[in-house]
Chains A and B, each alone.
Chain A
Amino acid sequence: GAVVSQHPSRVICKSGTSVKIECRSLDFQATTMFWYRQFPKQSLMLMATSNEGSKATYEQGVEKDKFLINHASLTLSTLTVTSAHPEDSSFYICSARESRGLSNQPQHFGDGTRLSIL
């Protein structure tokens, strides 16, 4: 149980392109989803917290107009990297927490999306 599917797994595109990444909880409902960015050989950096039916909460230093987050249902959140540039190349990982309301529920992670901007 508690499977999170992230798609696509890899994207290679030209500079200026907008890229959408999907994060789905397959067998549970997730009121809250999280988007992380991971640089090579580094830890995960939380970018934003995505709440179903409301605006996402962005961490300090993360451009909300650059990284658009939509969480339209209890099983789907999307991250759109708008007008991507080479410096946006990174490994993006989403996670979801079950909506049972308990604060100690673990986050379940997708397999990540490797974004390469040429």
Chain B
Amino acid sequence: AQSVTQLGSHVSVSEGALVLLRCNYSSSVPPYLFWYVQYPNQGLQLLLKYTTGATLVKGINGFEAEFKKSETSFHLTKPSAHMSDAAEYFCAVTPLDNTDKLIFGTGTRLQVFP
């Protein structure tokens, strides 16, 4: 079964530092890939998605992610963290054989220190 692994349930960075949130998926066929952000007591907001085409995807709030088929990864990065980036981040995939479903990773909580 398709699965998504997010290494590191908590990541802490200083304001202005690089943000790197890791996501790996298990699939022999590259699925559609998404990153969502969740602020406390709110739903999820789409940051970016990869379906086809360019493997480096730019999203909102300065985030980007690169699809690497050879590594089955879709890591999320941001060059310079802001305090407002503190939130829970979820990587998700839509398997191509069941495009109705969205399978989520367990999430990574990002803390940003001044």
Chain B contacts for A81, CB-based, 8 A? none
Residue pair A107, B43 in contact (C-beta under 8 Å):
no
Task: Give the complex CA separation of A104 and B32 in angstroms.
Answer: 7
Query: How many chain B residues have a CB neighbour from A under 8 Å?
Result: 23
Residue pair B101, A46 in contact (C-beta under 8 Å):
yes
Residue pair B102, A43 in contact (C-beta under 8 Å):
no
Chain A contacts for B107, CB-based, 8 A? 42-43
Residue pair A34, B90 in contact (C-beta under 8 Å):
no
Q: How large is the interface on A (under 10, 10 to 19, 20 to 34, 35 or more residues)?
A: 20 to 34
| Residues from 6 to 64 in A contacting B, C-beta threshold 8 Å | 6, 32, 34, 42-44, 46, 49
Q: Mark B31-58, 1 if CB is under 8 A from A, else 0.
A: 0101010000111111001011000000
Chain A contacts for B100, CB-based, 8 A? 32, 49
Residue pair A6, B43 in contact (C-beta under 8 Å):
yes
Q: Does B94 contact A (CB under 8 A)?
A: yes
Chain B contacts for A49, CB-based, 8 A? 100-101
Chain B contacts for A86, CB-based, 8 A? none
Residue pair B49, A106 in contact (C-beta under 8 Å):
yes
Residue pair B43, A110 in contact (C-beta under 8 Å):
yes
